[in-house]
A and B are shown apart, each in its own frame.
Chain A
Amino acid sequence: MSQTLTQDVKRRLYYGMLLVRRTEERIQANYHLREMRSPPHLYMGHEAAAAGVCATLRPDDMVFPYYRSHGWYLAKGGDLDAMLGELFGRVTGCSRGWGGSMHLIDLGAGVYGTSAIVGGTVSHAAGIALTFHMTRRDSVAAVSFGDGATEEGVFHETLNFAALRNLPMVFVCENNLYATNTHIQYRQAQTEIWRHAERFGIPGRRLDGNDVVAVWQAAAEAVARARSGAGPSLLELETYRYFEHCGINEDLDLGYRTREELQAWRARDPLAMGRRLVSDAEAREMEAEIAARIDRAFERARSAPWPVADFQEAAR
């Protein structure tokens, strides 16, 4: 069962990317006010990955973002007010102020909680896929992670188990070349991450992670395969992070990557590449609607109450 690239899907793809980009730009612009005291791992540059995959999913499908969590949370339909509430540490936050930027969750929208530990939720996704299987539901679990997570044992452990049991999963690696500030060539003996799929006998593909339509197409195939009971797939999306690993600034001064490299990737910006998906009028309309949503989310977060400590007894 393949999905069709309708006008509606095109709008959804572009809207998803735009919502993430504009929200993070606003976080960036307001961060110096010291209201959001939570470490942001900005997603900018990766938007096509989350928007492309999430547009193939149903509300009952579950996504498993990692600590660079804003993109998948918003693209899957996570509540914007609750996300900002969480970054502001307010009780209205999606984790009631206990999690912060690295621990977003919106179970109603199909966004599972996110972990600050690299590879932490890869196996959780397999657990939920097991639940889907055991409770005879045809939902799919899509887990995203960076290139660094594929160096963790749990990635290979989970890939093996998911393939062994034909679990309804899609593994989405967002390969942005760097684990914090270390290039993949210093970390991996062979850097074609998609090839790990071959070892477990499941489909693996590497593709341009900045081309939202290409991502959408590949994800649609993988999701259809998972939903049909045929088992998991591994997608390696080549993409790039614009800002520092954690924080709101550029980090070219560190010297681990070059301005030329950054500019080359910015020249292939996923939003610019996807801009043709909607008309000028539609784009303007989306910009206005998103700006209003973000204004409102910031206002609500600023005026929301703080959480109150409800610690249990110190020692039990």
Chain B
Amino acid sequence: MTPEEWAAVRLSLLVATTATAASLPFGVAVAWLLARRQFWGKSLIDTLVHLPLIMPPVVTGYLLLLTFGRRTPIGAFLADEFGIVFSFRWTGAALACAIMGFPLMVRAIRLSIEAVDARLEAAAGTLGANPLQVFATITLPLCLPGVIAGAILCFAKSMGEFGATITFVSSIPGETQTLPSLIYALTQVPGGDAGALRLTLVSIAISMLALLGSEVRARRIGGRRAAT
């Protein structure tokens, strides 16, 4: 593998890990809101969360560019006040991946929270636990397999995200050229087939490892539950 290919693999892992880790707390919070609370504008939030799943990725990427570009009000504000720059940086790739993976993550976690018996949560309340404590001690442990599944889905989606990423942050080697971007670039140049194939194999290997890891984790949690 060439240094360029290694850089793309490393970058993709960094982007996918960052995207998953950063969006997980939000994913759990939104999933809990959608599963357990009734409030005005709930269907609007539900739609917004799912939008990236339905829209063409290129459109999502372009909307991100319009929102977080260096010269837009939000982009300028974030850069001036917090020093956060998304456009044409790897952080932008992570943002694009997080948004593309968010609906998958929220769906998986929401389903598993809905599967937790709300009567157990009420029982915990009568024993003195406030809503946050109920969530931490009852809801979260019982829906953990779904949380892990949601994180894995988001990670896998991030590893493969192409359209939104390339539209939003382009494909700058070493900065925003992720694994799929590089595979695409290699297929466009003569003699790039070997590199594209190598990266394809790496990509398959990473996906399978992630899936295997989640299986092991889920089984360990299941086993622990049966043993206690």
Tell me if chain B binds chain A: no
Which A residues form the contact surface with B (CB < 8 A)?
none
Which B residues form the contact surface with A (CB < 8 A)?
none
